[in-house]
Amino acid sequence: MKIVQVVGARPQFVKLGPVAREFEARRARGDDLDDLVLHTGQHYDDGMSDVFFRQLSLPPPAANLAVGSGGQGEQTARMLERIEAYLLQVGPDAVVVYGDTNSTIAGALAAVKLGIPVAHVEAGLRSFNRSMPEELNRVATDHLSDRLLAPTPVAMENLTREGLEGRSVLVGDVMLDAVLGAALRARLESTVIADLGLEELEFGFATVHRAENTRPERLSAILGMLASSAERLAIPFVFAVHPRTQLQLQKSDLGSTLHRAIKFIEPLSYLDTLRMLMSARLTLTDSGGLQKEAFCLGTPCITLRDETEWLETVEAGANILVAADQRRLTAALDLMQSSDRSSREVLISKARKVYGEGMASSRVVDEILVMVAARR
């Protein structure tokens, strides 16, 4: 059986890890399974792509379509054309897509139009904010795909509301599997804390990359919020800057006007990110992945967005949404900073439960096999 896994952006490499390992384990037991990784080339810098393949020992891509950056339509169109050509050449029994990026929608659309069954990992997420390209990608991908593999009960409810329950299964979140597989390695192998001269629990960790947050006015407000957080908690903040954000910082000269308490660094590898997260007093982010990873590691999270797809992080008390509002941020900082070791442990056990106890990737592979069998 031949399966093509389409990936292209940073969080998809993380999600691919545990699923690819599960395929490998089943192959080792004698199952006839050939999984080919198709990299669209949406992310291409070493720090955004190759380092994840090396660190997570991911199977090297069978092909890289090198689509690079571009406008939403332009980038997606380039992918669609090249993915279709690849699928025609390889003739897989199934295609797997992950998350909500342009690579996700392109992979799903190219495959279903060729009559190849598609499984969507991380199905059913909704922000209900249609100005986000990711929201449009999610909705379209779910409605196109044959098997919707939902990470959480909230995602299942969303799929049911859209009439998709017949194709949907709750499998848990493969990102928890990834965290469980790498947390000890991050603790033992990553030297990022010492390299940056930081001390355990004596710094904050920040990332910002969403299109809506990298517009000059909003980015400027967010940088002010980071500076005020550093001052209020009397700790430095480390800001790992995504290339899109870096571009804006350079264009608008925002970075140079900033407080010394913010340390700007390049995007981090997966193990360094986990190490920073587990050691930070708290994290400020607009990343969906980081909201979940912080929850899985018990680190308080403040989200610089108006809404989140990951409602369970908020319900568990692991995450507070503040958008770009200074007053909401101050209230959140005061609430979050009382978090101690035992409240972190409580969060960790809640996250394990809600995200499927580390069994998601095994259920994902089971469901892919069921989907293929149903087509034969």
Residues forming the site for ligand UD1 (CB under 6 A): 9-11, 42-45, 48, 69, 100-102, 133-134, 209, 243-244, 247
Q: Which is nearer to ligand UD1, 48 or 311 (CB)?
A: 48
- φ/ψ of residue 170, rounded to 5: -85, 115
For residues 175 and 355, what is the distance between their CA atoms, to the nearest angstrom?
8
CB of 317 to ligand UD1, least distance (A): 24
The sign of the dihedral angle between the CA atoms of 356, 163, 81, 247 is: negative
Q: Whose Cβ is closer to ligand UD1: residue 287's or residue 361's?
A: 287
Which residue, 244 or 259, has its beta carbon nearer to ligand UD1? Answer: 244
- We find the least distance from the C-beta atom of residue 68 to ligand UD1, in angstroms, to be 8
What minimum distance in Å lies between the beta carbon of 70 and ligand UD1? 7
Q: How far is the CB of 10 from ligand UD1 (least distance, A)?
A: 4
Q: Catalytic positions, please?
A: 209
* Three-state DSSP string of the chain: CEEEEEECCHHHHHHHHHHHHHHHHHHHCCCCCEEEEEECCCCCCHHHCHHHHHHCCCCCCCEECCCCCCCHHHHHHHHHHHHHHHHHHHCCCEEEEECCCHHHHHHHHHHHHCCCCEEEECCCCCCCCCCCHHHHHHHHHHHHCCEEEECCHHHHHHHHHCCCHHHEEECCCHHHHHHHHHHHHHHHHCCHHHHCCCCCCCCEEEECCCHHHCCHHHHHHHHHHHHHHHHHHCCCEEEECCHHHHHHHHHHCCHHHCCCCEEEECCCCHHHHHHHHHHCCEEEECCHHHHHHHHHHCCCEEECCCCCCCHHHHHCCCEEECCCCHHHHHHHHHHHCCCCHHHHHHHHHHHHHHCCCCCHHHHHHHHHHHHHHHHC
Taking CA 243 as the corner, what is the angle to CA 324 and CA 58, rounded to the nearest 5 degrees? 115
For the chain, give the number of residues.
376
Residue whose CB is less far from ligand UD1, 281 or 305: 305
Smallest gap from Cβ 45 to ligand UD1, in A, equals: 4
CB 80 → ligand UD1: shortest distance, Å? 13
Cβ proximity to ligand UD1, 11 vs 172, nearer residue:
11
Least Å from the CB of residue 91 to ligand UD1: 27
* 8 A C-beta contact, residue 247 and residue 219: no
Complex with ligand UD1: residue 127 or 299, whichever CB lies closer: 127
Nearest CB to ligand UD1, comparing residues 100 and 173: 100
Question: Which tokens go with 241?
Answer: 């800057």
